[in-house]
Structure 1
Amino acid sequence: MQIITPNYILTPDTLLSNMSVAFDKTIRKIAPLEELKKEFADADVIELKKNSLLMPGLINAHVHIEFSANKTELSYGDFVSWLYSVIENREELVNGCGDECMAKAINSMLESGITTFGAISSHGMDLDVCANAPQNVVFFNELIGSQATMADALFGDFLARLDASKSVKREGFYPAVAIHSPYSVHPILIKKALQKVKNENLKLTAHFMESSAERDWLDKSDGDFKGFFEKFLKQNSAVSDSKEFLEHFDGFSTLLTHVVNANDEELKKLSLNGHTVIHCPISNRLLGNATLNIKKLNDNNIKWIVATDGLSSNYKLDLFEEMKMSLFMHSNAPLVKFADALIKSVTINAAEALGINTGAIAEGKNADMIVLDLDKEPNDELAVHLILHRYNISKIYINGTLVKCSL
C-alpha cells in the first residue's frame, strides 16, 4: 500500500486540492493525508514537488506499432498516393522495424504519459514487444482480405495470430479483434470473425470512412480506388457497401477509426449502436483527408476519443501533441470546453470505449497515474494549459507500480 500526496488531483468531474490517494494495484481511497495515514498505517507515503498534479495515465486506443520504422519513406498529402507508397515500401518498413525499433516506439509513448495503448497488429510481429511492454495493451489482431477465394487461408492466419495473443498471460494484456475496413475485408471473413468476438467477448475495432476514395468506391465502385483494386486485386467492384458493412456490427460496441467521410445516415447508425469514433487529426491531415466533424458527433450523441494512429501517418506517438492539433483544427469549438473534452477523450472516455478499469483517479479504478510538474497553481483553464504546455512528467504508475521516476 502507498499514499501519494500531490498538490492537485484531476478527477473526471473536478480538480481536488489538499487530498491524497491510497493505492496498491487499484485506487483504494481519496481523502486527506492524515485520514489515510490512520487507516493505512503501514503505507509508504510519497511526497511530491510543489504544484504537482496527479492525473490519469493517457490511453492511446489506436496505434500501428509494426510500421514504426517510417520517417520519410511514405508519401503524404493524398490518401491513395500514400497507400501506393505503403505497398511499395511495405517489405522494407516491416522488415526494417524489429523488436528494438518497436520497443522504442512503445517507450516513446510511455515517456509522454501513455499508460495504455491499443495495438493494431497486421502481422503479429509486434506481439512479443507488446506482451513485454510496461503499459496495458489491448492487442487488436487485424483481419484483412477482400478476395473470397483466399478467405479460408486468410482466416486461418488470423486465427493463428489471435490464438498466439491469447497465450499471453500477464496483467493488463487483452487480446482483441480488428476488421481492417469495409473495402478490404470480405463479408464472409467479417461474419466469421464476429462470431469469435461474440463467443469470446473480445473488443472490436475497424477503420471506417477515412478517405473520399473509400466513399466513392463503396458508393459507386469508382473513383481513386478503382485503379488500385484493379491493379493489385483484379477487382472491379467493392465487396460491400457501407450500409452492409455497418450492419455486421449491430449489437457489437465497436471503435471505428477516422469516420471523416461518414454521411448522416451512417452517423445515425453509429449512434444507435453505441459505437465510438477514434479521432486521429494528425494522420487525417498528413494523408489529405477531411477533418472529423465533432459537432455532428456530439449532435448525434456519438462518443469520440483521440488517438495517434501509427508512425506510418504521424511523426510522433504523443497524445498531448495530438490533442493540441485537434484543439487548433476545431477552431469553432468553445476553447475551454473542448479542451476538457479532449482530456477526457484520452482518459476516462477511452477507457470506457476499450472496456478496461482505468482512465480516472477514482476509488476502485486501476492505479494508472501520472504526475505532472506544473509551473504554478492551476486555474479554470487547466485543460487548455495541459494541452498547450509540455509539462514534465515526473512519475508514471501502471497498475500501482512505479515505472518511471525523474527529478
Structure 2
Amino acid sequence: MGQLAERRDYIMEQADTIINTRWLVPVEPSGAVLDHHALIIRAGRIAQILPQTEAKQRYQAPCIRELGNHVLIPGLVNAHTHAAMALLRGLADDLPLLSWLKEHIWPAEQIHVSAEFVQQGSELAVAEMLLGGITCFNDMYFFPEATARIAAQAGMRAVVGMIVIDLPSVYAASADEYLSRGLALHDTLRNHPLVTTALAPHAPYTVSERNLERIRILADELDVPVHIHLHETAHEIAQSIERHGVRPLARLDAIGLLSPSLIAVHMTQLEAIEMDRLAETGTHIVHCPESNLKLASGFAPVPALLERGINVALGTDGAASNNDLDMFGEMRMAALLAKGVAGDATALPAHHALHMATLAGAQALGLADRIGSLVPGKYADLVAIDLGCLSSAPVYNPISQLVYAVDRSQVSDVWVAGREAVTNGRLTSLDPTAILSQCQYWHDKIQA
C-alpha cells in the first residue's frame, strides 16, 4: 500500500491549458493581485489557480502559455451596446442627443438598416470588442437574430435584446410583432452555451405603459433581464413630467419594473430619493461615461450610487455615439469623472473601476455565477494584457496600470470558455480584411 500511495504522488493531473503569467488579478477578492501564478483550464472552465512552481509539479497540458510580462484578468463585460451601429461611427458627431437621433441616426436607420446591415455591423463590432479584451456584451438593436448569429460564430458571449419600441421599423410593424419575433429568438437560444436573451424596451418615452406592463410579466415568466435606457437627459425628465405628471423612474416603479431584473442604462438625472429606491429594489445601473459626455447628457452620480450598495456596471453604448467600443477607455473615464464630479481623489479607485467592467457587468446580466471573476468553477473567459512596454512601465500596481495607463492595443490574448478568440493580437475566427471591405461598402452606400 505504501508503494502504491507513493506512486500516486507522481501522477500528474491532466488539463487542457495552463497559463503562466507574471500577474493575475482575480477581481474576487477586490484589489487582490497574485504574483507568478498559473491558471488551469479544463473543459472550458477554470479548474484551479495556484503558484507556478506548484502547478508544474501537479499539472500537465497539451497547451502551456508563458506570459512573462502580462497581467491576466477576467474578460471585460460591455453591459450596454448597439453593436451594429459600428457602421454609423462618425456619421453625425458633435450634436446633442435629440438632434443626433431625430435628424441623423433615425433617418439613416430607416433607409439602411436590414438583416445584412446588422450582421455586418455586428461582425465589425465583435471583432473590435474581442481585440480589446471584451468577452461578453449586452446588445439592444434591430434584427437581434443576426447579432446572435455573429457572436456565436465568433465564439463570443452575448446577451441579445428582444427589442421593443412602439414605432414601426423595417424589423417590425408593431409592439406585438417586436415581442413575437423576440420570443421566437428566445426559444431558439434557450440552450445556447454563449448567447442568451434579455427583454429590451428602448425607453419609457418610446414604449407605452401597456407594453411595459407586458414586458414585466414576460420577464417574470421567462426569468430574463430587462434592458432599458432610463433618465438619460434632463429633457426626458421634463417630458415625462409634462405628459405623465411624474418622472420616468416613478412610472417604471408603479408598473413593478424596478427589481434585480432591471438593467437601467445611463441614469444621469437622479435625485437622492430615487437612488434610495434603486437600492431598495436591487436595480442594476449601467454607466456609459464617454457617450454621456459626448452627447452632453450629464453625469451618473456613481459614488453616491455605490455608497448605497447599488450595482453599477460599465458600457460603451454604440460606436455611433462614443465613438469606440473600448472598455479600457470607459474604466479610465469612469474613474477620472467620478473624482472630478465628487471633488474627491479617492472616489472610484482603480480596483472598483475594474470591478465595474467585469464582475458588476456579469451581475447585471445574471451571469455572475459563470463569468466576471477568476474563480475555480467559472468559465475561462480571460484576457492577457502585456505590461512590458514603455507606456505602462514601471509597474508598481498592475490594477492601477490597467485603469490609468493601459491601451487596448496591449491586449495580446483572449479566451472565451477556454477557447482562444485572440492569439498574439490576432483574431482566430474573424477575417479583418473581409470586415474592412464590408465597412467600405456600407460607407459608400450611406454617404451616397
Q: Could you say whether these structures have the same fold, taking a TM-score greater than 0.5 normalized by the shorter chain as the test?
A: yes
Does the CA-based 8 Å contact 1:127-1:165 persist in structure 2? no
- C-alpha displacement of 1:321: 1.4
- C-alpha displacement of 1:109: 0.4
Which of 334, 348, 366 aligns to 2:379? It is 366
- C-alpha displacement of 1:368: 0.4
- C-alpha displacement of 1:108: 0.3
SS of 1:261's partner is coil
Which sits farther off after the overlay, 293-302 or 109-118?
Answer: 293-302
Partner of 2:276: 268
Q: Deviations over 1:99-139 (max 9, x none)?
A: 23320111000000001111112343534323423210111
Partner of 1:120: 140
What are the ranges of 5 or more consecutive residues in structure 1 without an aligned counterpart?
222-236
Partner of 2:180: 159
Is 1:36 paired with 2:55?
A: yes
Identity %: 22
Q: Deviations over 1:146-171 (max 9, x none)?
A: 89xxx994123322233124313531
Does the CA-based 8 Å contact 2:147-2:160 persist in structure 1? no
**Structure-2-length-normalised TM-score:** 0.80
| Alpha-carbon separation, structure 2, partners of 1:188 and 1:239 | 17
Partner of 2:26: 11
Partner of 1:245: 252
| Alpha-carbon separation, structure 1, partners of 2:325 and 2:200 | 20
Query: In structure 2, do the counterparts of structure 1 residues 121 and 290 end up closer, same or farther at CA, with 3 Å as the change threshold?
Result: same
| Alpha-carbon separation, structure 1, partners of 2:93 and 2:127 | 26
* Letter matched to residue 344 of structure 1: H
* Letter matched to residue 383 of structure 1: S
Q: Deviations over 1:147-205 (max 9, x none)?
A: 9xxx9941233222331243135311112111221211111111112222111111221
- C-alpha displacement of 1:54: 1.1
| Alpha-carbon separation, structure 2, partners of 1:16 and 1:347 | 17
Which of 209, 213, 238 aligns to 1:216? It is 238
Q: Deviations over 1:74-103 (max 9, x none)?
A: 353312211212222222452483523320
Is 1:389 paired with 2:400?
A: no
Partner of 2:366: 355
Which portions of structure 1, spanning 4 or more consecutive aligned residues, are displaced by more than 6 angstroms?
Answer: 237-240
| Alpha-carbon separation, structure 2, partners of 1:5 and 1:288 | 44
SS of 2:204's partner is coil
Which sits farther off after the overlay, 88-97 or 185-194?
Answer: 88-97
Which of 118, 132, 154 aligns to 1:133? It is 154
| Aligned length, in residue pairs | 388
| Alpha-carbon separation, structure 1, partners of 2:272 and 2:208 | 25
SS of 1:18's partner is strand
| Superposition RMSD in Å | 2.5
Does the CA-based 8 Å contact 1:370-1:393 persist in structure 2? yes
- C-alpha displacement of 1:362: 1.4
| Alpha-carbon separation, structure 2, partners of 1:111 and 1:92 | 30
Which of 163, 167, 172 aligns to 2:194? It is 172
- C-alpha displacement of 1:275: 1.0
| Alpha-carbon separation, structure 2, partners of 1:27 and 1:159 | 38
Does the CA-based 8 Å contact 2:231-2:248 persist in structure 1? no
Q: Deviations over 1:295-347 (max 9, x none)?
A: 22123222211110012211111101122222332323435852211111011
Does the CA-based 8 Å contact 2:264-2:283 persist in structure 1? yes
Which sits farther off after the overlay, 199-208 or 237-246?
Answer: 237-246
SS of 2:232's partner is coil
SS of 2:349's partner is helix
Which sits farther off after the overlay, 318-327 or 372-381?
Answer: 372-381
- C-alpha displacement of 1:387: 3.6
Query: In structure 2, do the counterparts of structure 1 residues 241 and 251 end up closer, same or farther at CA, with 3 Å as the change threshold?
Result: closer
| Alpha-carbon separation, structure 2, partners of 1:11 and 1:3 | 16
